[in-house]
Structure 1
């Protein structure tokens, strides 16, 4: 056994929960903070142009770009769960095949998405709310971000998930940080110096994600003799239940992203009925407030391998301790983040858009929307717990209820009866209801399986 494997065994099996949580989650959270910064960078620098139509183009583009994240999460988080449980059960061969299956499945899915966008771009953008004023800006951004940058974007996210599954959180975080910092550095160069506007932001994002992918591939090349992970097509297989295991566990997270895209498209359509300024205000609000999602996802993704590994070994006490500590830590973070945004909403809105009317509207939108933080963040952790132990049906049910039923119903209903003010509270209402549902489902699972159940024999 290599030194690295000894270190990982110590981390997963014997390290105190608080220290193991910090070791696994903190690097992932830090990389997510970089993701937040560079996702905000496009809105910040494009917002400096003072053109609500170009800011609105980013909002319209978001669901399409986010589909790449959905595909990466289906294969990445699903594989991370299968790999960590396989390692806990001592099945290195299954872990190796799962990593190769996830990598090549992600590459194929990215190619198919790019092909669909090439064939139906005009129809898709019109469906998402692009108008005669915003279509050209949106198309310019997506050509670089998806058509040229789609494969690097999806594979860089996927490779980060695979590295975290084996406990290599430092390398995963460095790769994400590299891409984020490069995006931030290139945005002002392409947007202002070359005067490429929102298209320049797309070029910067494509270049940054390509650099991140190249870094990750280099990491895999260096560790190829010291890891159970594999990217070789020889290890790719859809048999032995590997692909089914990956997709079933990853589906709730991937579906979560897909439904977020549909809900964003719904919101773009509803806000577009008011004005381009409302669309821009919603887009800025969404990017700032969903910073909580990135950080909560960082915590959840960081500890998922710890939960899966110990569950497969039957260490249920360690699983329960990890769950309690993670939920408590995330709740404390959410309280502080909520207070900070509520206190600084007006100032934040002026940073991202100079146009006074849009900035004022954004501040109001942000204060209303931020009440979703508690349900939104804790939902991420509950779902990660279910995915970590392979309870994908519970995670899938909660995802469908939150984004497929409650949010559309709240947004359509509140918009119809209360107008724009009601629309601003649609996410807080749906996420609060979902949080109560999560707590009820977790309590039932905790009693029936995590406290008295047996770990699955086949990870």
Structure 2
């Protein structure tokens, strides 16, 4: 039996608690590694080139997030279909989804590179590039842009691995990318004296080498989803389903990108380049520390999708219950850690006492209600795993678009810069309320199905 086939079978048979933990740990390690090289980039840049360079690179981050969101749209959309097809024993359908997501990626990543290069200056200004940070933002962006196809293929192929339950290999490739980036960073930034261009080149090279390893994995036949040309013919129905399901991920990450662009402009108005740099650092800290939660969601998706596809609704409910419990415990731990160590963490990036003091204060305000968001993230993932695109989309945009975006315009009028930081916890509690309104009826509906199935089995 292929390793991927064995992993898929475990999704429907292994005890839920240990299975969630077993799948989430490698997913978390892999995603932590990916976040780590963003943090290391920023530390090298901040320590070697200063706060202005951090601000410039921070301008590019929402554009990177937008590219990431597109890759997640494709990867998670395909992964949802693949896990459900595998659960229904439809290997041909899974392979067809795999071929079509790769075709979509070739088209989309090529368009991003072409349009991004053509409109680089306009795009950077749109995302907040102003003042002394302009040159840093431009130098970093142009080089990062040409690595887009590598990054997108990496993310999609990793999502496909997770859809099969093969979390460990996905973890290994993500760790590989991070380690290579950390090795290349000081060489390109300091030894070759390339500055922020060097940081970008280090990322692109690590992504390319990682892609080579992923391609070898699929060509070697270790996966159920080997490259077969007959499955690479365009199937627009499958492509539409991939995009519809993945739209919730695009909404979530894309919303974060749009939000970051608006934030950069607002932060520049109320706090100048220093405020932009502070949020750039906070963004990286949160991405790093919240990776255990993202890893749990990544483990939750294939288990839920596989069992829903197999009609094992009782196991779906058990998975949801365990995931919410683990997610809540995880975010409480993250909250306590960041509240205690906010200042030392900021000091890692830059030793400017004003930046450290104000940054730590802003971080503590932003995370005030983070213990609530574990449930919100699992709720959004639940609908995505079931292929319920509309509900997943609503929950994906609830926090950042429906609530946080308006609050960023409203609260600074009364509280200046503090109003921007306070908008985050206010949006958290409102988003949790919407999640409850959608998840509770769905839970009751699925519970009724389970009760009906049990009644028939008794008769």
Q: TM-score, normalising length from structure 1?
A: 0.94
Deviation at 1:193, TM superposition (A): 2.0
CA RMSD of aligned residues (A): 1.8
**1:77-96 deviation digits (Å, cap 9, x = unpaired):** 01111001011111111100
Aligned mates of 1:339, 1:24 — CA distance in 2? 25
Report SS of the residue matched to 1:371.
coil
1:218 aligns with 2:216: yes
Per the alignment, residue 266 of structure 2 pairs with 270
1:228 aligns with 2:228: no
**1:33-91 deviation digits (Å, cap 9, x = unpaired):** 11121111111111102522100011100111112211111110011110010111111
Contact 2:79-2:160 within 8 A present in 1 as well:
yes
Report SS of the residue matched to 2:83.
helix
Aligned mates of 2:207, 2:8 — CA distance in 1? 32
Aligned mates of 1:260, 1:9 — CA distance in 2? 32
Per the alignment, residue 54 of structure 1 pairs with 53
**1:347-400 deviation digits (Å, cap 9, x = unpaired):** 111111122222221111111112253344432221111111111111111223
Summarize the Cα distance change of 1:233–1:251 in structure 2 as closer, same or farther, 3 Å threshold.
farther
Aligned mates of 1:163, 1:303 — CA distance in 2? 14
Deviation at 1:243, TM superposition (A): 1.1
Q: Which of 230, 245, 248 is the aligned partner of 1:249?
A: 245
Q: Which of 299, 315, 319 is the aligned partner of 1:318?
A: 315
**1:3-38 deviation digits (Å, cap 9, x = unpaired):** 536623541222111221123221111101111211
Contact 1:237-1:243 within 8 A present in 2 as well:
no
Q: How does 1:94-133 map to 2 (within 5 A)?
A: 94-133=93-132
Q: Which of 173, 181, 184 is the aligned partner of 2:182?
A: 184
Corresponding residue pairs, total: 451
**1:392-432 deviation digits (Å, cap 9, x = unpaired):** 11111122322222011111111111111111111121122
Q: Which of 144, 159, 162 is the aligned partner of 1:161?
A: 159
Deviation at 1:174, TM superposition (A): 0.7
Q: TM-score, normalising length from structure 2?
A: 0.94
Q: Which moved more, 1:238-247 or 1:89-98?
A: 238-247
Deviation at 1:449, TM superposition (A): 3.4
Contact 2:289-2:334 within 8 A present in 1 as well:
yes
Unmatched runs of 5 consecutive residues or more in structure 1: none
1:301 aligns with 2:298: yes
Summarize the Cα distance change of 1:450–1:138 in structure 2 as closer, same or farther, 3 Å threshold.
farther
Per the alignment, residue 380 of structure 2 pairs with 383
**1:152-208 deviation digits (Å, cap 9, x = unpaired):** 011101110011111111111111110011111111222222222221111111111
Deviation at 1:295, TM superposition (A): 2.6
Contact 1:293-1:376 within 8 A present in 2 as well:
no
Aligned mates of 2:350, 2:30 — CA distance in 1? 26
Aligned mates of 2:276, 2:115 — CA distance in 1? 26
**1:247-283 deviation digits (Å, cap 9, x = unpaired):** 1111100121111100000110000112111110111
Per the alignment, residue 326 of structure 2 pairs with 329
1:426 aligns with 2:410: no
1:351 aligns with 2:348: yes
